[in-house]
Amino acid sequence: MSLWEYANPVKFMALSGRVLPVVAVLSGLCLVVGLVWGFFFTPDDFRQGSTVKIIYLHVPAALMAINVWLMMLVTSLVWIIRRHHVSALAAKAAAPIGVVMTLIALITGAIWGQPMWGTWWAWDPRLTSFLILFLFYLGYIALWAAIEDNDSAADLTSILCLVGSVFALLSRYAVNFWNQGLHQGASLSLDKEKNVADVFYQPLLFCIAGFVLLFIALLLLRTRTEIRVRRTKSLLARERMA
Amino acid sequence: MMPDLGKYAGSVLSAYGASIVFLIAIVVLSVVQSRRAKAALKDVEDRRND
């Protein structure tokens, strides 16, 4: 069995129909456990006070904002190289989820930044590259909506996705090579010294798992919708021809 | 039950409120679009089979 078999819409619909309810339930469970644990049962940080609780939304949303774009990059490359329609539709389906994740990261970041940095916003490398990533998401969705021919839309949005990937990577690594920013380095690290304390880390892992699973569930649901819309359009076109 | 959020209560609650609203919005939007697409396809397929 090959992964490419799932580029067949019929096989994709059959498999995703079975997987979707399981992923959706797991996502809900992880989010409820992580957010309730983090909000109600973790202590305040000695420096940041109760604002540390924003980490359970800000970090998973920011992680997803970047990784959704990278997933779109992979599916766009698959479209460009192998011309699998499900792949292009999956990229299209992922973009609105990425917008929401980026928006949550930007808004929670601003709300967190105001009491900690004394400002809602700074033209810091990470914040700025995140804002540009948000604009790329909007541009990507607008481009899909603006082009009637599906294959041309998939081609052009794939190219836009390749260009935007620079900002997706920049928003992840900007703090490492531009030191003048307000934003600190990554909250999560394999180095125990640099990682957040266990008391915050454990519920954070549940929240990250919840966000990843929510993304997968929404991606499957939205890709199934795109396949159905495409099928309806093609049947209507055949009706008109007959 | 509600933890004491101290002077940052407004910030923490507004971050949670805004995030939960956006998450619910994308879930509801995706489900509504999915139902509409399913119904539209069923209509066309039923018409074809008649």
Q: Give the whole-angstrom CA distance, residue A16 versus residue A10.
A: 10
How much is the average pLDDT of A93-108? 98
Considering chain B, what percentage of its residues have pLDDT values greater than 90? 80
User: Best of A10, A68, A108 to disrupt the B interface by mutation (most B CBs within 10 Å)?
Assistant: A108
- Greater pLDDT, A183 or B42: B42
Q: What value of ipTM does the predicted structure carry?
A: 0.94
Length of chain B, in residues = 50
* Type of residue at A68: V
Question: Using CB atoms, which residue from B15, B25, B27 is nearest to A112?
Answer: B15
* pLDDT at res. A40: 95
- Greater pLDDT, A152 or A45: A152
* pTM of the shown model: 0.93
Contact B6 A232 (CB under 8 A): no
The string of pLDDT tens digits covering residues A42-93 is: 998 888 889 999 999 999 999 999 999 999 999 999 999 999 999 999 999 9
CB contact B33 to A (< 8 Å): yes
CB contact B24 to A (< 8 Å): no
Q: Give the whole-angstrom CA distance, residue A195 versus residue A124.
A: 22
Residue among A92, A97, A30 at smallest CA distance from B25: A97
* pLDDT at res. A38: 95
- Summary mean pLDDT of chain A: 91
A178 Cβ contact list (under 8 Å, min separation 6): A125
Domains, in order of start, for chain A: 20-176+195-241 (1.20.120)
Question: Using CB atoms, which residue from A96, A108, A225 is nearest to B37?
Answer: A225
* pLDDT at res. A179: 63
The string of pLDDT tens digits covering residues A107-137 is: 999 999 999 989 999 888 888 889 999 999 9
Q: Give the whole-angstrom CA distance, residue A231 versus residue B11.
A: 46
User: Best of A100, A230, A240 to disrupt the B interface by mutation (most B CBs within 10 Å)?
Assistant: A100
How much is the average pLDDT of A189-195? 67
Residue A186 has pLDDT above 90, yes or no: no
CB contact B25 to A (< 8 Å): yes
- Greater pLDDT, B3 or B22: B22
How much is the average pLDDT of A212-226? 98
